[in-house]
Amino acid sequence: MSPERISYEHKEDQQLVAQHVSRYEFAQPYVKDKIVADIACGNGYGSSILHRGNPKRIVGIDISGEAISYSSGRFEKQGIEFLQGDAKLLSSM
């Protein structure tokens, strides 16, 4: 994985992990009954955290095929899907 990606189980820098997790936990209440795009979802743990807020659907998007493969294998379930894509292209839609 790329060095800027962190894993939920990342042991080297728990403070960094806690910062990332707290941001997703903060957003959790705002996703109820919404369709959510988790842009630059990385390893997918954030989409999994958001899923606890009961959205209609979450689509995690990341440019890294490796990250999407990991996310899909680890966190994909009913209501969450992961797609490889470039966030810069979303502005042209």
Say whether pTM exceeds 0.85. Answer: no
Q: At 83, is the secondary structure helix, strand, or coil?
A: strand
What are the residues whose beta carbons fall under 8 Å from the beta carbon of 50, sequence distance 6 or more? 24, 27, 28, 31, 36, 38, 58
Largest Cα span, the chain: 39
pLDDT-derived band at 52 (thresholds 50, 70, 90) equals very high
Question: In this predicted model, what pLDDT tens digit does every residue of 14-51 receive, in sequence order?
Answer: 888 888 899 999 999 999 999 999 999 999 999 999 99
Higher-pLDDT residue of 1 and 72 is 72
Percent of the chain with pLDDT over 90: 68
CA distance 60 to 24: 13
